[in-house]
Amino acid sequence: MDADNRRLILLDGKYNVSGQPPLWDRSSLLLRWSRGGGQSRWVVELIVNVELRLEYGQDTTRRSLRTFSWGGPSWEKRVRNSAKVRASNGFSVLVTGAAGFVGTHVSAALKRRGDGVLGFDNFNDYYDPSLKRARQALLERSGVFIVEGDINDQALLKKLFEVVAFTHVMHLAAQAGVRYAMQNPGSYVHSNIAGFVSLLEICKSANPQPAIVWASSSSVYGLNTKVPFSEKDRTDQPASLYAATKKAGEEIAHTYNHIYGLSLTGLRFFTVYGPWGRPDMAYFFFTKDILKGKSIPIFEAANHGTVARDFTYIDDIVKGCLGALDTAEKSTGSGGKKSGAAQLRVFNLGNTSPVPVSDLVSILERLLKVKAKRMVMKLPRNGDVQYTHANISYAQRELGYKPTTDLQTGLKKFVRWYLNYYKPGGKKSAV
């Protein structure tokens, strides 16, 4: 493409610039060849029609439709400095979803122990982006640079691997949330399936190939009624599209491990909570609504059955993530060619102590010193399951994983953070 500006019109949802099935059925893409700072690259700009819809018939108001600027000597210097290993025998880790809840904590922990850490995030607006920006500021103060971009942007990912020879990838970028999948299913396919494949395509061709640890989910157990959930249990009955995309990720991981020799470790997180958490999680919005005097929904299963979760504190999850990185074996391929069998693992990371959601509310009431207005409702058929309970014996044996934080202790730390971050009067504190 030799013109400085070339416009592509997407008609009937058939083509896009990457040659992949497009996410949008009507839009205009402007390809602009950009030169500057010693770098040349294509910059893709999306010109959005006001009637833009996802091909699944959902609107895109919750998605971030914008371009990201990257490249140039100063940008490359920041990337290298952030990824520079300070400790002997340390890792150089690319953390996707670094501005997310788990991503922020894992990035900070890796940096503290001397590993090189480069973050990657698209700062979408599934929930308040200002919280993600505050996490970004927290990481920047510790020396972690977060590259802004979409996980499907292979040109950007390829550039990062050209600048830094990552030893490991901690892939935490994903479209989260069980219920939101009913409103915007396309975002889950875009991030959790296409995005994962995009990353694996770059990793398989890297030389050397990195070892990859990635976030699956306890939701893959779906309608499984055998508890506690074990990694050997069936996971072919997902109760939500989110769960289905995470299960698809596990099968995709198997494929890339088998064909290309990528070392892959999946982590099935169980209801992670704590400071800097996600506002769409029950413990977070319960706290917000209790303080505002609003009613909060307490779900119960059929025949007044208890709804319970294996709540797992963020610090315990971080230990599990680092344990997975530390025990990950090297990938066996090079330049897209496999030379031998590679490590493939999946672990539960939970607390092993399910707590009824009603008990969670009681703990919050005591910590906040406010009585909750409870509204008991039937568990809706929107992807939520009645019960989660992790069997963590495999992670204990292989990763040395041992959760130590009970719900009372963890929620006390969360509430302290919440009250400090969200000051009275709706003003957020300085980070």
DSSP string, 404-427: ---HHHHHHHHHHHHHHHB-TTSP
Which helix (DSSP H) or strand (DSSP E) does residue 288 occupy?
helix 282-292
At 166, give phi and psi (nearest 5°): -65, 135
Per DSSP, 191 falls in state I
Any residues with CB less than 8 A from the CB of 126 and at least 6 apart, and which?
62, 175, 176, 177, 180, 187, 280
By CB atoms closer than 10 A (0-12, 13-18, 19+), residue 65 is middle
Instruction: Give me the residue label for tokens 């901690």.
Output: 170
DSSP state of 180: G
Helix (H, G, I), strand (E, B) or coil at 229: strand
One-letter amino acid at 210 equals P
User: Are 219 and 206 a contacting pair, CB within 8 Å?
Assistant: no
For the question of residue 180 being annotated catalytic, the response is no
Residue pointed to by tokens 């190939």: 209
Which is catalytic among the residues 242, 256, 283, 418?
242
Residues labelled as active-site residues: 242
